[in-house]
Amino acid sequence: MTPPISHFYSFQEFNKLTDGEISKIIKTRLDNSNTMVYAYDGTRRSYLIENTISKNQNDGASINNQITGKDEKTTIDYDDYCKTAISKLLFDLVMMFKHGIKTIVYPMWFCTLEDRGPEYLPKFIKYLSGLKQLAENETLVQLYKESGIRVIFYGEYIKLLGRGNDPTLLETFNKIMEITKDNTCHTILFGTTIQEPSQTIIDNSIDFFEKYNYRPTKNQLIKQYYGIEVDQVSFYLGFDRFSTDGRPIYISDKGNEDLYYTISPHSYFSKINFRKILFDKLYCRSNTNAKEYELKLIDIEMMKEFYENNSTNVMGLGNVNPHGNYWYPTPQVQTPPKSIDNYNYNNQSAQIKDNKDSKRDQHKPISSTFNETIKTFKKLELNNINSNILNNTITNQNQNQNPNPNPNNNKNFNNHNNFNNNNNNNNNNNNNNNNNNNNNNNNNNNNNNNNNNNNNNNNNNNNNNIGDFGTVATTTSSAIKYPKKNFYPSFQKQVALTNY
């Protein structure tokens, strides 16, 4: 029996559900918006990884040959590449449909790809030839039939294949649509958009009016363009940089689809990755931002700390690896505690108490960067304190071993006792007594020691600025590394074959 819909699921519990149980939840929760975009990408990188490193290892190359050959240029054999590059996508689609998704849009070609130049099109046409498997691979043909998956090519694919001078592939596309036209449970839409989306919308509207002599509705334009009625897009799954290339027209007008991006190419994408996305979509993003913000004070305090800790972080920032020249996202988020009991960003024992507790402010959580800064300055402060204690000890020993009836020395010794008595009262008295004590040491030592003690006093005065959050954060945060525990967990490859 499928558990009731609730946002209190943990992913571990959600992942125990069968495909059929998740499918029922998806169909209920994504009613009228059961469409996703799968911008399948990264296949050339995957091909290079698989066919360069693996081939080198299989050839039994010696260690010396492997080392000396690391600077050799690698190339893609597009005749070989097209045979396997798109196969993973075709099986991924079956897995996604079994989880209850009704319609999946795969934007094959979109207008920004035109910027890659004319030399890219022939390579892409070879890549698309891998779709012949939907008509020639008996396993896939049977699988799509059993799952009720219909295949539709929409947009300017005829024009694109004409530019590539490949009429045979166009015949194959028409054959695939004919084979699957009676499959009605799910639909995969392979899209081609050569011109900008706004121009496509204008042309489609004019064509409709000229044909029927009245203004079209949105649903009529959708059916004319895609060949069937299509729900609004619920979420978009991309790869690499945060962009929405190939975003389908008409069915993503509201701009409220949730966006997800994999770090690794989609050739690494697995069933558990997809389930993580579904869990986030169903139980995380859909339950945020209550209408009236009826929150407790502790909720607001924790919210404040979270936003302050991440005030300089921006999702989407990244860097480029010079070895491969690929972009990758850099870790940005310092996550909040999972519960009030863990309301401390450094996992210390302090807990937030009731609002009536006057000591609550003493347990304010601080960002990891700031905490590391504090630790650094405390070390400096501790060194100064130890230095002062050592000086005081030496002074006491000198006074005990060589008692001096000089009244000035007695006065200095009294000042030292006053320092000890008032040590825990306040920092100002502490600093004053340290100055007096250092002056006592100055009387007993030479002028060079005077200069050293003055430097110690300056260090002590500088340490008084530790409590200034803004000063510490702005002057030292760039030089101190984030603790590794706040980084994203190390990426584990999930390339095991999925049970479709």
Per-residue pLDDT of 265-302, as tens digits, reads 999 999 999 999 999 999 888 766 555 667 888 988 99
CA distances to 121, 315, 318, 429, 480 from 331, in Å: 35, 8, 8, 44, 15
Q: How confident is the model at residue 47 (pLDDT cuts 50, 70, 90)?
A: confident
Distance of alpha carbon 61 from its chain centroid, rounded?
Answer: 38
Higher pLDDT, 237 or 413: 237
Average pLDDT over residues 91-102: 96
In this structure, are residues 135 and 179 in contact, taking their beta carbons and an 8 Å threshold? Answer: yes
List pLDDT tens digits, range 332-346: 999 988 766 555 544
In whole angstroms, what is the distance from residue 95 CA to residue 19 CA?
9
- For position 337, what pLDDT does the model report? 81
The C-alpha atoms of residue 38 and residue 46 are separated, in whole angstroms, by 17
pLDDT (tens digit per residue) in 376-413? 544 555 455 455 555 555 555 555 555 444 444 444 44
Pairing of strands 149-155, 103-109: unpaired
Contact 235, 277 (CB under 8 A): yes
- What's the whole-model pTM score? 0.66
List 390's β-bridge partners, or say none: none
Q: What is each CA distance from 81 to 130, 243, 288, in whole angstroms?
A: 9, 25, 43
Least confident stretch, 36-45, 189-198, 416-425, 484-493: 484-493
In the block, residue with structure tokens 């502490």: 430
